[in-house]
Structure 1
Amino acid sequence: MEVVNSGNSSLQIPGYRIVRKINQGGMSTVYLAIQRSVGRQVALKVMSPVLNADPIFSERFQREANIVGQLSHPNIVGIHDIGRYRSLNYIAMDYMSGGSVAERLARGPMEPLEALNVVRQIAMALDHSHSKGYVHRDLKPENILFREDGSAVLSDFGVARAVAHTTRMTNSGMVVGTPHYMSPEQARGNTIDGRADLYSLGVVFYEMLSGAVPYLAEEAVAIAIKHLTDPIPKLPARYALYQSIIDRALAKDPVKRFQRGLEVADATDQLVAALAGKPSQQISQLNNVSVGVSSLARALFLTLFSDLRDRFSKIWQVKQGDPEETRHARKEQDTVVRLRQLVNEPMKHKRPWTLSTITAALLLGWASFSLFSPREPQHSEIPMLDNVSRLTGDTKAGANSPDIQQVNEEEAPAALKPARHDLANNGIHSVEATRARAQSRSLNPPQVSKAPDTQPSAIAPRESVISQENASATVFEKSENEASPTPSYGLTVKTEPEAARVRIMNITPRYQPGIRLKPGLYDVEVSAAGFIPYRRWVQVGDRDLKLTAKLQKSYIAGKTIRSKLNSGGFGPQMIVINSGGFSMGSEKFKNSRPAHRVNISKPFAISIHEITFAEYDRFALATGTSQPSDAGWGRGERPVINITWQEAQKYVEWLSNETGKKYRLPSEAEWEYAARAGIDHPFWWNRADARGKANCRRGCDSEFNSLFTTKSGPVGHYQANPFGLYDTAGNVAEWVQDCYQPGYDKSRTTASPVSIKNCQLRSVRGGSMREPSNRIGADYRKGLDENSRAKDIGIRVIMELN
């Protein structure tokens, strides 16, 4: 049982080890915690005592949260446990390390495609929840979170609904929802349905683009009145392309809004397709927006006009000497977005003759440029704006990602063979990449010459090669011969593991092996508990299609792993650390300069504590290696000492052979990232005082040191850092993989170890029991000959995650 100080009282939640407070609001406090039974890292939300004091709320909270916990969707936060302890209601949920939309907006407005990505994913989550009869009621940026891979997830389901149904609380005047994001009917107190959530999503979309909510006032009542009476706000001119979504989402009358999340997703898909210069692939037939030449011409003219206006405005501000108002020049990749601002906006007035002439001239110039400019290889890409599983490690498709491929590729037509392409690290198209691709194309869909006896290519995980003929053949297209029915073909997906769930996301019928489908594109998702879900578009052509989907195991941050040894027993206890970025080094020590940003591109598992004598002796006895001296301090659970860097290499090689996994020493970057545990301070306890926190010579008040003697302590004797690692400061220092160099090369931004030919000095990290407290921080480092033995140096190991 963990006891955590919370104000003047103590919080106790059996079964959880609470690491730190993540956030606190009026209704709840959220902690990062470890669920002891499974070693899982969770976000533990503990409801406010004000709410817990109401028995009606507690009863409804438990019932509603249990039901909502059954919602299963990639873009809805997963609930692992719901409970009550000493009048405290709590929920254990997925821990989202990517922060929230609110935190993202604190850095300024989001890029349009990034905002569309979020809107689409949340719209699909809402469509799922609404189909189950659940309305969120409190959708706002704080409740939209990001996974490590950047996918958006909707949180706080059930709580708002429980509050809304608590008669005592609503009678006392509690407002259900947040005023800035409330729909008009919600502000009136009327009965609401899923369309109220879509209104709130529209407000969030407006805020993501503009950086501000649409209606501002000092009082909550005044804000509600604005939602009821004020006209729908207009986006800045450069975002006019997105105004159609805002207009429908923020309609005062629910009948005039999007009626379900699927419609919102359709609208975002069409916008993305327009930006990329491709025919759109709708999830449903609920929206049908065509792009006319006149609209494109108008968009081109007004965009160029806006560009000139912005330039003159900038020059004027500079001449006026007002640096505060001087805006940075727009990036080049913004051009495509601004070229297509008004493609869906109808013409309200006839253009004067002069405007028509200018527009025609611009169109002629654009057409000439399109005809004579060099073209890319003719292919188109379908942006994957859904929740795509995070791909770690090598950024080549198939390297560390689940793979879907056809069973008989050699016998299949070339059209259906999967291609391999580089992927972004986060598993989705980045905004910059999507815009860059769109920039390089003309405004028309790509023309693909059809070679004799060739077939249109199938959709690979992120890219496709589709002929113009087939690009228009959607799931819902009628055949050319109206008298004859459209043929259908079978789709079978063989999965590993066999129990994996297969869903086709853009059709209503459930997947069954051999399901009959009309020719077109289908969004196939394969998922299984404990595995990374995978999603891709596939194309059904003119024959039955068989696919194989092999999923990779999923490793959740904080999950503990122990691999079996072929000779019996288990290897070291490992814990999964997520990928991320951090500031490595410091200006405190000369050989730790300069501080520089490093990106850990893939998760890894690292031993929870230093390798013990018991673990190393198993290797020594199995291989006939001499057992190192323990300096008279004892073996067993004390960290192994007196081993060289070369002997450490032999140990990890033996572990790899025994387990079939890849073990190695950590790089300096990986070691420091794990030791800091997300904290910028050199000490994970976030202050210089090390007393009672580690085993060191001076400043730690260590029970293992005296005035005349120093020795190591058993591993895990002191508290673990927030990542669950013990003794990253003090006790024994640790060999790492890198060749030692005084200071850092700040241009190195990756976690790969420094490698130099004929290297003799190796880096040692973490300080030891023989050093003072100011030299045991995560930023302290030194070099030592790789053939040296020392009684204050041991090792910690990493296992690569496949």
Structure 2
Amino acid sequence: MFYRVNLFAFIFVQVACGNVDLSAEESKSTTNSLGMTIVRVSQGEFEMGMLDEHRLKLEHKASAYQREIHDYVEKPAFPVRLSQDYGIGETEVTVSQFREFVQATGYQTDAEKAGEAWVFQPDAENPLDRFSLVKDTSWRNPGFQQSDTHPVTCISWQDAQAFCQWLSKKEGATYRLPTEAEWEYACRAGTRSSYFSGEKPDSVYAVGNVADASLYARHPEDVLRQRVVGLEATDGDGFVFTSPVKSFKSNAWGVYDTHGNVWEWCHDKYSDRYYDDMLTKARKMGSRTKPEPIVDPQGPDNTPKHEHGDWRSMRGGSWYVAPLQCRSSIRAFAEAHDAFSYIGFRVVREMK
């Protein structure tokens, strides 16, 4: 319970970078037998993490503690080279796509085996109890209504891994979770701004489902505690909880819902000091003023914290957090067996 309460506290307070030139026309997509559109992303280089210029723009909008959290987990930015083209899901995996997997295999998710998942409890007096374990909740019943086209949620990292293994066999191709580097590169789509939609937090309303006036109208206290820009009755995206995928504009490479909707599992083991280690390594390979790009980073092999659990990285923010927590460089984590109603995933397909 200690780790899960602190996980929520971390996400609650959490409030870059491309140098490639890939237009939407150059990005090719294919559709697999599951009806899943896979967008081809060309290899290239970018700066991963929060740039100094972004920190300066955030300082007047966040508390000192929030700024420290940002610096702690998203900085320093370091150069990355992705050496291979890859395909990434146009959207997060949907309820119907996950159901096909379950029907084909009889798979039971971690939440179903445990008989409970971490779901939204708006009446909880303590803010840290807003997400609590509730019996008989899972991807089938995450505590709010969903259709087949909503992103599946209450999915653990282990569940996402099982889905990818099944899909790989079904398609005769390698499907897996994206690395953090692959995820951020695809999210940015060649941009260096805090969001692929620009620098203004409210620009996210056009491209993602975040905590906004719709959630505020139902549960005002949850939004007010984390809001950093104006909140008017007419602001927002119109969705209280998750939204159907592709309800908002895509980025320039045709990838949807990277800002908000659900946090997305990544392959990497989580480390809050990984970026500092990578920049140090990049400078050793190059120089302090011109660090050499890290090729295909996949997160640390292990850390002391992993003695207490298999902590995995998540990206993108969710329907429950404000725009500041949904930036392109934002990071969070959870234990590999955790199933929350704000966590889902998208897939990567390896390209030959």
TM-score norm. by structure 1 comes to: 0.29
1:651 alignment partner, SS class: helix
Structure 2 counterparts to residues 186-205 of structure 1, below 5 A: none
Match among 204, 211, 216 for residue 697 of structure 1: 211
Q: Which residue of 2 aligns with 1:123?
A: none
Deviations along 1:543-582, one digit per CA (max 9) or x if unpaired, are xxxxxxxxxxxxxx42111223xxxxx3521010111111
> 1:647 pairs with 159, 183, 191, which one?
159
Is the CA contact (8 Å cut-off) linking 2:91 and 2:256 kept in structure 1?
yes
TM-aligned CA distance change 1:594 to 1:715, over 3 Å: same
Q: Return the letter of the residue paired with 1:650.
A: A
Which secondary structure does the structure 1 equivalent of 2:312 belong to? Answer: strand
Separation in 2, partners of 1:769, 1:607: 19
Distance 1:751 1:561 in 2: 24
Rg (Cα) greater in structure: 1
**How many residues are matched?**
243
- The CA distance in 1 between the partners of 2:149 and 2:105, in whole Å, is 21
Quote how far apart the aligned CAs of 1:754 are.
1.4
Q: Deviations over 1:596-634 (max 9, x none)?
A: 111111111000010000101100111101362342321
Equivalent position to 2:268, from 738, 748, 771: 738
Query: What is the match of residue 230 of structure 2?
Result: none
| Residue in 2 that maps onto 1:218 | none
* 1:715 match: 245
Cross-structure match for 1:750: 295
Match of 1:706 among 186, 196, 217: 217
What whole-Å deviation, never above 9, does each CA across 1:258-300 have from its counterpart, x for those lacking one? xxxxxxxxxxxxxxxxxxxxxxxxxxxxxxxxxxxxxxxxxxx
1:563 aligns with 2:32: yes
**Cα distance in 2, alignment partners of residues 686 and 596 from structure 1:** 21
User: Aligned equivalents of 1:648 and 1:581: distance in 2?
Assistant: 27
Unmatched tracts of structure 2, length 5 or more: 1-20, 56-69, 110-138, 221-239, 283-293
RMSD: 2.1
Q: Following TM superposition, by how much is the alpha carbon of 1:32 offset from its aligned partner in structure 2, in angstroms?
A: 8.2
Match of 1:691, SS state, is helix
Question: 1:788 Cα shift?
Answer: 0.5
Which is further off, 670-679 or 758-767? 758-767
Following superposition, the deviation at residue 33 of structure 1 comes to 6.6
Cα distance in 1 between the residues matched to 2:217 and 2:105: 37
Q: Decide which of 174, 180, 187 is 1:675's aligned counterpart.
A: 187
| Distance in 2 between residues matched to 1:654 and 1:691, nearest whole Å | 35
Question: Percentage identity across aligned positions?
Answer: 30
Residues 318-329 of structure 1 aligned to structure 2 (within 5 Å)? none
Spell out the pairing of 1:68-467 with structure 2 (5 A cutoff): none
* Alpha-carbon offset, residue 692 of structure 1: 3.0
Counterpart Cα distance in 1 of 2:194 and 2:41:
18
Structure 2 CA distance for aligned equivalents of residues 776 and 33 of structure 1: 23
> Partners in 2 of 1:583 and 1:32 — Cα distance?
16
Secondary structure of residue in 1 paired with 2:261: coil
Residue 418 of structure 1 corresponds to: none
2:79 matches 1:597? yes
Distance in 1 (CA, whole Å) between partners of 2:73 and 2:43 is: 26
- Could you say if the C-alpha distance between residues 704 and 692 of structure 1 is closer, same or farther in structure 2, counting changes exceeding 3 Å? farther
| Counterpart position of 2:106 | 624
Q: Verify: 1:785 aligned to 2:335, yes or no.
A: yes
Letter in 2 for 1:761: W
Q: Which residue of 1 aligns with 2:131?
A: none
Shift of the 600–634 alpha-carbon distance from structure 1 to 2, 3 Å rule, reads same
- Equivalent-residue separation in structure 2 for 1:786 and 1:32 (angstroms): 34
Please state whether the residue corresponding to 1:647 is helix, strand or coil: helix
| Aligned equivalent of 1:766 | 316
For residues 792 and 721 of structure 1, the distance between their equivalents in structure 2, rounded to whole angstroms, comes to: 22
Cα offset for 1:755?
A: 4.0
- The residue identity in structure 2 corresponding to 1:558 is S
Cα distance in 2 for residues equivalent to 1:801 and 1:637: 26
Alpha-carbon contact 2:164-2:176 (below 8 Å) kept: yes
Alpha-carbon distance in 2 for matches of 1:721, 1:731: 15
Query: In 2, distance between residues paired with 1:635 and 1:599?
Result: 38
Change (3 A) 1:751 1:631: farther
Structure 2 residue corresponding to 1:585, chosen from 32, 35, 49: 49
User: Is 1:801–2:344 an aligned residue pair?
Assistant: no
Q: Deviations over 1:119-169 (max 9, x none)?
A: xxxxxxxxxxxxxxxxxxxxxxxxxxxxxxxxxxxxxxxxxxxxxxxxxxx
1: CA distance, partners of 2:35 / 2:177: 15
Separation (CA, whole Å) in 2 of partners of 1:679 and 1:772: 21
Equivalent position of 2:134 in the other structure:
none
Does structure 2 retain, via aligned residues, the 8 Å contact 1:576–1:604? Answer: yes
Contact 2:310–2:336 (CA under 8 A) maintained in structure 1: yes
Match of 2:39 among 554, 566, 575: 575
Query: Could you tell me which residue of structure 1 aligns to residue 170 of structure 2?
Result: 658
Question: How far apart, in 2, do the equivalents of 1:612 and 1:704 lie?
Answer: 22
Deviation at 1:731, TM superposition (A): 0.8
> Do the aligned partners of 1:704 and 1:713 also contact (CA within 8 Å) in 2?
no
**TM-score when normalising by structure 2:** 0.65
Equivalent residue, structure 1, for 2:254: 724
> Amino acid of the residue matched to residue 719 of structure 1?
K
Cα distance in structure 2, aligned partners of 1:801 and 1:765: 22
Identify if the C-alpha distance between structure 1 residues 705 and 563 changes in structure 2 by more than 3 Å, giving closer, same or farther.
farther
Q: CA deviation at 1:705?
A: 6.1
State the match for 1:331 in structure 2: none
In 2, Cα distance between the equivalents of 1:636 and 1:630?
A: 13
Query: In structure 1, what is the Cα distance between the partners aligned to 2:216 and 2:159?
Result: 28
Q: Which residue of structure 2 lines up, in the alignment, with residue 275 of structure 1?
A: none
Contact 1:571–1:655 (CA<8 Å) still a contact in 2? no
Moved over 6 A (4+): none
Asked if the contact 2:22–2:42 (Cα under 8 Å) also holds between the matched residues in 1, the reply is no
Structure 2 Cα separation of the partners of residues 706 and 795 of structure 1: 28
2:144 alignment partner AA: G
Q: Is 2:154–2:341's contact at 8 Å kept on the other side of the alignment?
A: yes
Secondary structure of the 2:206 match is coil
Residues 723, 705 of structure 1: CA spacing in aligned structure 2 closer, same or farther, 3 A cutoff? farther
